[in-house]
Structure 1
Amino acid sequence: MASAPAGATPASSASRRPLLRRWWPTLLGAMLALLPAVLPPAVTAQPAPQRTEQVARVVLSLLGYARWPVERETVRLCVDNGSRYSARLMEGGTLATGRPVQPRQVDVLADALNPGCDALYVGVMNEARRKRLSAELTGRPVLVIAEEDFECEVGSMFCLNIRESQVSFRVNLDTLSRSGVHVHPGVLQLGRRKGAPS
């Protein structure tokens, strides 16, 4: 068996390192540029202004049909700072009854909730945080509206289904009945109840 000539040694890993260092920034840049193409649109896209407006319209309508044990001149709406469709809600508004809505931003993932909320609009939460939030609000008259709680099982009373052209909602009657907040029966008929066929 013939041995290889002394000058023809295989390239060592040390000689390949400078090549990798030179091409690494380009490779990384290309990977980052392709990232939006492989992630789902919900992760990369900002909500369209018309959807944000539709969400606000539905939320304000739900608030307009709600009655709390103690009615105040204004409805105090706490808005989760992690929610996607909250920009228009943070502008406030006036209900059909003439009552103004006073929004306030909160961090539901980090803070215990201040009792100064008549309603709470939340974004995406994991199951553990949703259960903790439900425990915090048990027995308190706070109307909870979730933007992406498709199961609508723990803690949320109204769960929005946000699509391209419309916003619909589901109702969790159990959670709503335990809250002490009353909602007009006609609104409850409009929402697909938890457990009803889609």
Structure 2
Amino acid sequence: MQAQPQLNLPATTLTILSYVRWNTPNPISLCILNNNQLSNQFIQVNQQLKSAYQIQAVSLSELNQVMCNAVFFSTYTPREEQNIINNLKDAPLTFSSNNTECELGSAFCLYQNKTRTSFKVNLASLSQSQARVDPRVLLLAKSTEP
């Protein structure tokens, strides 16, 4: 299942990342899993926003061999996401555009809400990440709910 490209998806994700305190030195690496088209969109928006994130497209087989502070899922079910996350050697911050319920799998679940990109937060997944997210992001998630 291929996610539809959404122009606000990269900008929203990069904005959320700007609220994260990392325990590692810069640059922060965001891995886009199995979606080269979406990876290219992220690279373009990253350049437009003059963000310092390192964006890279990775395949599932490469995921444990590259450094990813954050991982973006767009082609997996929530259950598949959870299985992949459970098998990662590190605990990256996780995002998904294919997980509207956000009850398992990724920490941040982005979805199209009328004309804008909104998101939900899975607190259980977020607590497993090594990243420290500013609590104001949780308020942003609540304010985007319909």
Tell whether the structures are fold-level matches, with TM greater than 0.5.
yes
Amino acid at match of 1:161: Y
1:93 corresponds to: 46
Between structure 1 and structure 2, the one with the greater Rg is 1
1:182 corresponds to: 132
2:29 corresponds to: 76
1:1-198 paired onto structure 2 within 5 Å:
47=5, 51-52=6-7, 54-70=8-24, 72-82=25-35, 85-91=38-44, 93=46, 100-108=52-60, 110-137=61-88, 140-192=90-142
For structure 1, the residue ranges without an aligned partner over 5 or more in a row are 1-41
Q: Secondary structure at the match of 2:43?
A: helix
Task: Note the aligned Cα RMSD (angstroms).
Answer: 3.1
Aligned residues: 145
Amino acid at match of 1:122: F
Deviations 1:130-188 (A, max 9, x none): 232121237x3411110110121222000001245100000011111121211111111
Distance 1:69 1:95, change over 3 A: farther
Q: Secondary structure at the match of 1:87?
A: helix
Identical counterparts, % of pairs:
27
Instruction: Please give the TM-score of this superposition, normalised by the length of structure 1.
Output: 0.61
For structure 2, the residue ranges without an aligned partner over 5 or more in a row are none
Measure, in 1, the Cα distance between the counterparts of 2:126 and 2:35.
23
Amino acid at match of 2:43: M
